[in-house]
Structure 1
Amino acid sequence: MSSLAGKTALVTGASRGIGRGIAMRLARDGALVGVHYGSNEAAAKETLADIDRAGGRGFLVHAELGVPGDADRFWAGVDAGLAESGAGAGVDIIVNNAAVGASSDFQGVTPEEFDRLYAVNVKAPYFIVRQGVGRLRDGGRVINISSGVTRIAEPRVMAYGLTKGAVEVFTHTLAKELGPRGITVNSVAPGIIETDNTATQFTTPEAWAAAAAYSVFNRVGQPADIADIVAFLASEDSRWVTGHLIDATGGSLLGV
């Protein structure tokens, strides 16, 4: 029997990149997966189709994050998807993956962009979980996707890094809040991962080689590298791990 058979998982930002990899892995392990997306419906449908083709089960959840009422719309979409899937009202796993990145450095970030970063990357997961704790079953899992830039100083994405630092505080504090119910809360901090976003940043072989050189393995990470860690944290095997941050940067800049 698959390790997540009979479980329901929700993955925000699951239409592309790391979120897509996580959604597909959790579905492969037997979970019914809520595939959340904000704007790219076509990509979300592709993720769901890939889950279906692999023998998994899922449903779409549409809610733009970072705007008033986003958590309400998110949970309304979850409730509708669960009802259509014939599943119970409860959920077992919440993966807060959706995020936006900074487009400017320390000097260039505007107050409006700063507010947008916090609205999507911090406020949205906070209230999604807060509204969802009544639906989250005892023994459940909350997994927050952070970033290696909370450890590795990158001034060009400072504002983004601040939001992920807040996510890490949210993680270990929420772990204490939900611990009495047997719910674990952990963070995963990816490094450079090959996605459609990074493809626009590293456009030459030299740029990819430089990105790979950050890791002690001399390669750029793949979404599956993160999804496999999330799958462990979602499973019963991780029951004694909570309030923890897993560095998933491939040993980037160790000793620097």
Structure 2
Amino acid sequence: MGKLDGRVVLVTGAARGQGEQEARLFVAEGARVVLTDVLDDQGGALAKELGDDNALYRRLDVRREDDWTAAVAAAKERFGKIDGLVNNAGILRFNELTATPLEEFQLITQINQVGAFLGIRTVAPEIEAAGGGTIVNTASYTAVTGMAYVGAYAASKHAVLGLTRVAAVELASKGIRVNALCPGAIDTPMTNPAALDPDADPRAGREAMAGLYRKLIPLGRAGEPEEVARLALFLSCADSSYITGQPFVIDGGWLAGVNLS
């Protein structure tokens, strides 16, 4: 038996990176997964690979209420219910705070913060109607500390953590648990832009950061998306049945402190 047998979970940003690995793992554990993203070719290919009985892809720009409504309707039509949500979609931009254009700050806020809010607001009633379930919000290491040159991103992730705590309190009586992932450096296209450039060698980006990670992170490396997916699974299944409203840092020990040796 799988840990998610009988569950139907909607995952945003599921076409690649952490969302892709969450979708793959959830299906392997018995869930039927609604894959959503704005990367239609990749999302559609992943759904096809996972199989029609297990996965459905729908385009979802997390900033748009009508996209959320349509995705929920499609999920219920195919699978009959939704009882899980992983608010994974997000973007990262590097910029000095005083040099950050307003448009960039607003874009990050709309996708990372408003997207999570709309997900909770839209899907929580469906989870309640299904008899309860789980919401996992992707926050960040920067939701519990500061980091230079990611001011807009850090602000949005602090907000996601605040939303998580409020939602956990308000939704507990409806049988819904709400927790937050707080990843540190994870090897995904978002943290390695070279992986998105067809003319660039993605290994170069990884190698450039490897020395820094060895200095900053006690475990000496970036995390893998599969490792984050396993934490998302834990927070979405009965193994975490008495946990709600909490941030879960997964950062290789980065937040623990600096090793000067």
> TM-score, normalization: structure 2?
0.88
Provide closer, same or farther for how the CA distance between residues 212 and 32 of structure 1 changes in structure 2, counting only shifts above 3 A.
farther
- Write the mapping of 1:80-91 to structure 2, written as runs, cut at 5 A: 80-83=74-77, 85=78, 87-88=79-80, 90-91=81-82
Match of 2:61 in 1: 64
The aligned counterpart of 1:92 is 83
Matches within 5 A, 1:34-73: 34-38=34-38, 40-52=39-51, 57-66=54-63, 70-73=64-67
For the 8 Å contact 1:71–1:124, the answer to whether it is kept is no
Deviation of the 1:253 alpha carbon: 4.3
1:187 corresponds to which of 177, 180, 183 = 180
Structure 1 residue 35: deviation in Å?
A: 0.4
Deviations 1:181-206 (A, max 9, x none): 22110001001111123233662624
Supply the distance in 2 between the matched residues of 1:82 and 1:183 (Cα, whole angstroms).
18
Counterparts of 2:67 and 2:131, CA distance in 1: 24
Shift in CA distance, 133/93, structure 1 to aligned 2, threshold 3 Å: same
Counterpart residue identity of residue 63, structure 1: L
Match of 1:102 among 90, 93, 109: 93
Q: Hey, what does 1:246 align to over in structure 2? A: 248
Determine if contact 1:102/1:109 at 8 Å carries over to the other structure.
no
Question: SS at the partner of 1:144?
Answer: strand
Unaligned runs of 5+ in 2: 195-203
Give the number of aligned pairs. Answer: 247
Amino acid in structure 2 at the alignment position of 1:45 = G
- TM-score where L is the length of structure 1: 0.90
Let me know the Cα RMSD of the aligned residues: 1.8
CA contact (8 A) 1:91 1:135 kept: yes
After TM superposition, which residue ranges in structure 1, 4 or more long, deviate above 3 angstroms? none
Any residues of structure 2 matched to 1:173-212 within 5 Å, and which?
173-200=166-193, 203=205, 205-212=207-214
Find the aligned partners of 1:32 and 1:240 in 2 and give their Cα distance. 24
**Equivalent-residue separation in structure 1 for 2:206 and 2:97 (angstroms):** 26
Gaps of 5+ in 1: none
